[in-house]
Structure 1
């Protein structure tokens, strides 16, 4: 059934060891299947449904279960094997196989854990929903496996989701069945509504949750129409719209005539105009009035200069593009003529946007008349006389001509200086600046006389001095040449002239110019990567990591580095994974005085030993020492109660490798490099703390809802899930071969340099959208290839600068590999210059996607198009090829990139993967340009 329909599928359940019963609950009679063999040792009991037929296009279905699970603690000490979870399995078939049943036919879907556990005498019914994905056959079975729980199942509802018929962005889309995991986004074509157009055919994607997302090729209303209620309607009278857009119709602007229905523009009223560059949406405007308050200022100007200023016109004509022209006339007696090129204007005398101009090169004893004209975008050449002003002269402030040393002692210097002959010393003040020769910090004194005694100086020290005169209004003249004067050694004094009188000092201003010193100090303290730090705390030296295993009592390390959380503050919601020590839940942390937060909860399975407990909590002792935005944050631990837990922040998008595979081809190189920059910043932090991760891989990087990447998994004690060859056992433990530096494999020398090697592998994983490093090579083949100088080739579309950094991380000599601070610095530079990511590294499809030239993995030719697509992980497009009539490999070899696009492969990453795969199958003489995308 579709989601939302009221009817339920009633399943006839085939039982192996399960029993059927009826139960009265709240006055209603319920039938259920139950089992409760908690004291009978290991259990493996199965309950299977009848055959469930699948909708032809529904590849993902949802299974909603209502059930009760009994609390194991209610059975006492005789139920050590009791479990509080059971497993959901599924098996596909093209026909009903009746009562035939084999465990091997079923694959596990999920471990089902209750939110509420029932005690003695009460019944807490749980409702859990799980997804069964990648369905392709005509039908399927569900099965429930009991492994030792006391559980009763009351109902099972199976449904699929659809995206309903809708109108999005003025495009109509039909009802569509939601896709599955291999087709997380199902593309659907639509059509624009009436009076709407689009350059490209509108498309939208139907998500696995039955929601429409990411509209492409947005439809827009035609000119004269506006969007309303998912349609395009005519503009009302008095409104208009000039272009194809989804903007609303606008009121006719000022100084225009009212429009009719569906108008594209509104005409100007008589006497008003639009400038040639004005859009049709602009108001019509008139001419400006004359400028106001024209005045000239000479008091602060040099000889032959004046500043002319004015106020804007009272009426600008309704425009903001006002400019001014200045016209100068020179009069001698009764004769006036244009000033011509003899007079200079700063910045100009035409097209001025400022309301002032400085005029120079004026001659003495002449009358000048200045006329200022205001203009706007619709002005004709009409002059507006504004005002006139007579010219007058004023001189510069006096100039300092010489500086003299009058007297010196080990701690003081007396100086005097001369000024130009026409200055009036009584009306002149001076600004003196001095500093030690070896530093850049000046001290500034403002004085009333042309002499000074400076005290509190250092003996045997060279000082630099310069001085300038100030006008009565405080305007400065030019500084004198900087001169050197020295204080003598202790016990010596020198008198070079008459004693300097004690002048009256107005005030002292100390100007601290520390920019150069700060830069110099920062260069000695920081590496190039520290440019991104913003807070003083981040510039402080980092503390050093303390190995919790050095504590005689490991519990002491936990108490020191991790906060204790009371179990009542933590509530578990869903099982999101299974680790070596127990199940991992998503949950909620409600600590007193803190905002409620989503968390991940790692649990320790019942029956643990003390050593397992200590190993489990050692990761918390490590995480608790770290505090960085790119390191997974420890919220706290539960250690003082029966159920031991580690609580961390919750990362919505899970592990990076799976996230990248789920979004293959959907992110740009810039976004991927941004994610790498976050990982590198976290590893720089760990390196600065002298911590070596030893297991850096994309599977151990978590991604939150903001696509921030955070380093996690600080144990290196678990076996890699679903990867029997993920580690190589040595006498010292297990090593993840594909991610580990050669010296760490050979000699167990783990350092920050070996983490850098691992980071290079992570870079390759990210740029290859979660591809497995070294593909299907065995661990021994990987080690042999590395020792023979083989390195992973550049992933498809990988920027050359990024691949070169990978190769630097994989240098055999670990001392030559870049440090994490160098990596952060380089990635920052790439992000600040996106053009640097446009150069793409060379790509060989026959190596980079590990495709045999003409055959499948066993050396035999591909038997079908479906087999070939499955080998390159593109099986979700099998139906596209089939519907297009491409059913043989000979037809595949004739395809070009345009053919691939036409059958419905639109994601750039998928398009390129299929195109490059075809290139790998073709003859060696095929050219890459045929498949350029």
Structure 2
């Protein structure tokens, strides 16, 4: 027989390749490398008996003076092979509880051995054994536990070298070291390289925090929390932390460090600000140039000092520019008024140079002079609105005395004036004081103070008027100009009659009886300067036939009519006020609104339509004070930060358990808006099967989203953890809640776009609620409206074909996704389409393939799935129809007893009777691993079921007797055996 000769001569070809795979990968710590050893490894070989039969052998080759060793075995002609190859003791790093074993090997094609192919195998097994000390050459087979069956992807023929590389994980290591062992049961195999390594998260600096190299966690600790330290010249309010994943990747840094004042971030380090630059606070900002009129003479400045002659006001930010003094105001003008005695208006223009400030104010000072004696005006005059702290360039001065000299000084001040000494007395002010002075001799012009009716007849009116007092020294008398006109609003032209008088009374005749006239009187000074005029007054002549004695009668009638008119007006006012009180009541007044007005909106509003996303959050979500929230335990790590379980205790409400999503420090404004966007969506929904938003924290440093706490977590994981523990009736009850939530969303014109069991949450009463609205979008007004995405990932396995092909999402595409959710629930969290790639899934769906019924799935439920998966979306049921159908099934439990056909060869998805190359399974453990039931390998071995022939003879009772108790696991194994028998019969027919 050709033993392994047909392969050995090919080993040199492998050596010449020098390296099939790179042995150095980032974040990997190698603790055993067969190729790198470059010499005899001294591995222990052991055969099942002591007969003179060859087992594992070492093969040596030399290339360019270097030695290469491989191990091989090829006893395909012998029955009952049990050949072992054990490594030397491998020391384990204490934190490395999970290691990877990478094997490069060659397996010879059994068909090339002719008659020996009946006993030939094409797989071998990997075992491990832990120990606290090296046991030397002592070898006990029973101490080893199986890790995996190693099968080649490619088989080597006589002249065609096919090298395979497989990597297996050894979990839960806890002792000081371990051995690896390779068991041959009749294959022709050569091991070319064995490399053992564990993954680490490499030492790194993220967000100015340094984290040490950390060994990646194992299956019991998927995320390993690591504390770090801020780099030099940086600090953080919270201890920097980060998580190391099982794949050696750093994720979700928490507690971002920031450079201290006077330092800026440069390539993950904090560097001093250059001269002329500064940074005032610990932040992620860059150093900024010193503002105007300041300087920073040295590096590392946290502030900039004011240049000479410039100042900062007490309320100015220390990071702002420094200001100079304002110049004096311009163009001071004093203007007298015609209608008010002893009154004038001062006005001026702002200073040309404000010193770089906007807080310019003005103050006014007054001096009065009589002859050569001058003194402060003091309280003798009044200013409106005042004489100090004025922001307007105008002030009214009143109570002035006529024929005195007044001097007014206006001073401009700013927030830095006091710092420059401008608060000193006037005599001590520097020449640069911002003042402007004007002097004037004030003479109060004559002004008409009142006009009154003296007497009236049907044809005449007698009037008199008063004038303001004039100085005694005035030589020329005051003159008056009287204008009057008939009051007639219907004429196109108004005619005035003008009289110039030197006395303050007049009688005007030739007037019409019973007619109203309008009078206006203006005074003129002795020098002819115009003075103040009266307002236009109305007086009326008596009607024809009346004399002045009739006035009392007329007056009494007028008073009575006025009283009646007042009563009517009062009643009308009260009625109108009552009507207005009702009109003012708006739809937002919840205390007075009708029940119809209080109904919630029936249409979802997309928060992205708001120009300011913060407004959407405030509109749809309740603000919670962080003091009402207590964090208890981290339950996950999201995209934006950690997720906690906690307690919400709001005033007036009892304590409730909540889930708290946090936003990690150092976020950008866009990250904050994206983080709170989901809250703006959830806040619009109120349904028992939609996750409830308790509120948000947006007005404080750490933003949070608070939702109700669902104790059992995501539906898919919960079902996998309780495989087979629920009846079909219970599972359909869960589906009813999901369908009801989706019906509510569809009635709100809302498309979820990511409906899957992973996005359904479960509480302690098994009530299911729809969550995760990150991909959701609003429909258009058209019931058939769609949302077209602009790109991005689509969950292929859950998405309708039209949504994949055209990015068109409707409630009908959500119905397709709901059909996938039904399958997930009835299959206890199985992955849809199993291990098929996304490309294979799309191709299969387009070729009319649909997922088969899960085990024990009621026929009525599977028919509902198929209806949800109709290619024509218009023919799929609506969520309202789905809720009605599920209610009908729950009201008639007998309808769930008819079970849909189940094909284990399709439903289990892995070949029931063959390995990856189509050949029969070589061992019971290999078969169990293929159906994901490898945890029962020891049960089968202890029961003496060690061959596939024995497996084919087992019945349900036999499976129970070996310790398989979970109903779901029992059915999976039983259905797989059924498939084994079916396919074995088929293979027998082909063999004939």
Q: TM-score, normalised by structure 1?
A: 0.43
Bigger radius of gyration among the two: 2
